[in-house]
Structure 1
């Protein structure tokens, strides 16, 4: 008669009966329940942490790409000598033929659009309050393509009035106590040129639009002004400060650096969003790896409790093992029975952890809102974190590696007590029965 195949139905039946048995009958021990709960909590923490880290990175990158160019092309500063005094001074780089350059850059494969921009620093004042701001001179068409700026859920006012006013961030509006229809004075250090030199330019503009880009630093410092008005205000008639470039795959923006430099010509320089935030994103990636290792150790510690529970189960089931061996069960069959006992614990703990982890990740925003309410806003500070909320993004890969890690550790630590049960001598097991 052929021997049964490994992991036959009767092996599952015996293992399941051992797990269902009452503690007085030598069934599942307290250590097994502790290991099951520990694995569930470890997997839950691992999934929730990975989801939060992925969501934080996605939100951080989205706030960058939704309100900024993927790459910026500008001209290097030039050194100019004064022929009368022999003094050397540096002149900021300007782009005279910006429309032609923008059209040339737009022809590069993978570039979706380009836009000339005027940039300048100002002091914004209103209601006896002031704030340093960065002005971007853009056209209405380009402003309407910035997803984070034109979001109707986080903005007030109408961009159709942009040609007669300015758009400001919600942080500036809050600090200056202004809203749509109010006036804001902008003071530029390099203003009107007179016979006595350059005097600061002070001009009042009507606020026609208030936006929130989702980034604390952007909302607190950014102002948008019509392109033509910005050229006049900053003395940039006929020139642009830079060309903003948007590409089809922002995550691979470095691939366009060399083509942009070649198309822009001598003296051109390129600065992309990864240059500005690459170190922070690298720190996030390293932190993700460290957190995964730390939480993996917690799952390992919880899995080790399976060993203790199985050793106690093997000790209590010594008589049963002897009887099963005398009935014809092989060492391999006994090993598989007790391996299944430990594996059941690992699988059930992992499944419970996945359910709890997914539930926690899906509700982390509400949980943080509750903590913020209890702590008076101290649980999440936008001025420190940069973004206003703590999102979570569940990714199949993160859940899969958390499940794979938990099951692998649970199966590995089960092998030792299962082998001990398989090698038990049936004669010794039944000697005192």
Structure 2
């Protein structure tokens, strides 16, 4: 028999106590199948795939809490449960957490009727969990823990990846700006003769500077616009593109990667790219404005 370690939690679906974050995550079955006295169980889809479990299978739950001491040592509490559904959160929770009815779980660990071993709070803003936990500790002297302590390593890794992505994006924009700078400098060096002729015809240094500033701004706006359009199209159809190349993100799941387009971040990135391009254009434009006609036309 295969064995896995999991955190079993008790909920009360018959009383309407199903967390909002879980209501729409059922893949097979229904939360209302967890009825008191029937010893039903809802497990994560990844755990089911790992153990080869299907709906209707009977599995044995062994819990150290509620065990009894005998002359042969501690005998853990155990009981058979029937799997009635699978949920999929798309995270490691799918492999480490299972749900049963609160009253069935209480009988498993030999708690008195109406008693629980702990309470779990679900917040509208998950990032307020540390403050709420600290407030409860100060006001009630309860022992508390939050998701950062239980799954902190996962979210720290995600946060690190996000910061690195921003760094890479900033470096890509900087490289593009320096490409604009170098391209304009080469254009100025190649067109020194033409710039000198325009100056002799009466074009002021300020207008020459404006011409190259507008040229750099045009490149920045056009490049940013094309990049935003291509990025949005690729983001919207990312799962279809991955499926086209045969990439499978979540085994046994048709949902694919979750895609959220943050409009404010897209706008900030595009504006930053245009602004950096404009800044990179200042030096070449200044150099063009300081071309000396006498030097440029000396041998003509």
Q: What TM-score comes out, normalization by structure 2 length?
A: 0.82
Distance 1:333 1:273, change over 3 A: same
1:246 is the counterpart of 2:246 = no
Tell me what 1:423 maps to.
Answer: 290
1:259 is the counterpart of 2:126 = no
Report the Cα offset of residue 193 of structure 1: 4.6
Tell me what 2:43 maps to.
Answer: 168
| Alpha-carbon distance in structure 2 between the residues aligned to 1:325 and 1:396 | 45
Residue in structure 1 matching 2:163, options 283, 286, 289:
289
Tell me what 1:233 maps to.
Answer: 108
Q: Is the 8 A contact 2:10 2:101 kept in 1?
A: yes
1:304 is the counterpart of 2:171 = no
1:205 is the counterpart of 2:72 = no
1:325 is the counterpart of 2:175 = no
Distance 1:175 1:395, change over 3 A: closer
Residue in structure 1 matching 2:23, options 142, 147, 150:
150
Secondary structure of the 2:3 match is strand
> Which is strand-richer, 1 or 2?
1
Q: Is the 8 A contact 1:148 1:212 kept in 2?
A: no
Q: Is the 8 A contact 2:43 2:87 kept in 1?
A: yes
1:214 is the counterpart of 2:81 = no
Q: Is the 8 A contact 1:190 1:201 kept in 2?
A: yes
Secondary structure of the 1:334 match is helix
| Alpha-carbon distance in structure 2 between the residues aligned to 1:303 and 1:295 | 12
| Alpha-carbon distance in structure 2 between the residues aligned to 1:193 and 1:270 | 27
| Alpha-carbon distance in structure 1 between the residues aligned to 2:48 and 2:155 | 29
Which stretches of structure 1, 4 residues or longer, exceed 6 Å deviation after superposition? none
| Alpha-carbon distance in structure 1 between the residues aligned to 2:48 and 2:144 | 32
Q: Is the 8 A contact 1:193 1:199 kept in 2?
A: yes
Deviations 1:173-228 (A, max 9, x none): 3344333333222233456758757534442222222222322x322233222222
Q: Is the 8 A contact 2:66 2:111 kept in 1?
A: no
**Structure 2 matches for 1:52-63, cutoff 5 A?**
none
Residue in structure 2 matching 1:409, options 251, 266, 276:
276
Q: Is the 8 A contact 2:59 2:83 kept in 1?
A: yes
Secondary structure of the 2:84 match is strand
Report the Cα offset of residue 271 of structure 1: 0.8
Q: Is the 8 A contact 1:167 1:223 kept in 2?
A: yes
Greater relative contact order (Cα < 8 A, sep 6+): 1
Which structure has the bigger radius of gyration? 1
